[in-house]
A and B are shown apart, each in its own frame.
Chain A
Amino acid sequence: DSGVTQTPKHLITATGQRVTLRCSPRSGDLSVYWYQQSLDQGLQFLIQYYNGEERAKGNILERFSAQQFPDLHSELNLSSLELGDSALYFCASSVVHGELFFGEGSRLTVL
């Protein structure tokens, strides 16, 4: 158990809909990262927050947004969903650069 909690584990929705994925980092970790994993692209960095502030942005679509709350949990919002958004979405937290602790992921299926 990495100590990072993600909900929901599975989500099935329709195109055009909006979903919210939630992440609770390890106790004491201030950094939260979001990654998308698909079969053909592997793990792609989306966005990082540090203590409530956006720290780095990767290949995150404009339809996607995230935030980190004062209690350090984070939410990833995905809107106007398309079939191609079907993937595993991972949250990770860290204290030391490069040493990421990943949650078990949220599997999103868009029909």
Chain B
Amino acid sequence: QKEVEQDPGPLSVPEGAIVSLNCTYSNSAFQYFMWYRQYSRKGPELLMYTYSSGNKEDGRFTAQVDKSSKYISLFIRDSQPSDSATYLCAMSDGTASKLTFGTGTRLQVTL
């Protein structure tokens, strides 16, 4: 079993929809949680960065962390075609340098 599980999709939604992307993890030592967005043929770029449990909002994006359930989510409001990309969750325990990534969910926002 992988340390971080993420549904690969693809997830197809109409423009304007609310998108929910999720990851589950098994390592209770993870304290830092990130979401990266990766467009086709590009490197991942950091979208959201949260520490421990709770919510964080940035424009149309909201990240949620529930450490008791070992579950993190990324919500995208008013989704746009430009949001079409692969979304990767990542996490670490803060002591190690490496991030552990999910395999990514491919999102397609249609007109």
Contacts and interface: CB of A to CB of B under 8 A. Distances in A.
A103 B92 contact: no
A42 interface: yes
A100 B49 CA distance: 11
Contacts of A43: 44, 88, 90, 101, 104
A45 B97 CA distance: 10
Interface residues of B, number: 23
B90 A98 contact: yes
A42 B43 contact: no
A48 B102 contact: no
A56 B98 contact: yes
Contacts of B103: 41-42
B46 A100 contact: yes
Nearest to B43: A102
B88 A97 contact: no
Interface of B: 32, 34, 36, 41-46, 49, 88, 90, 92, 94, 96-104
Interface of A: 2, 4, 31, 33, 41-45, 48, 50, 55-56, 58, 90, 92, 97-105
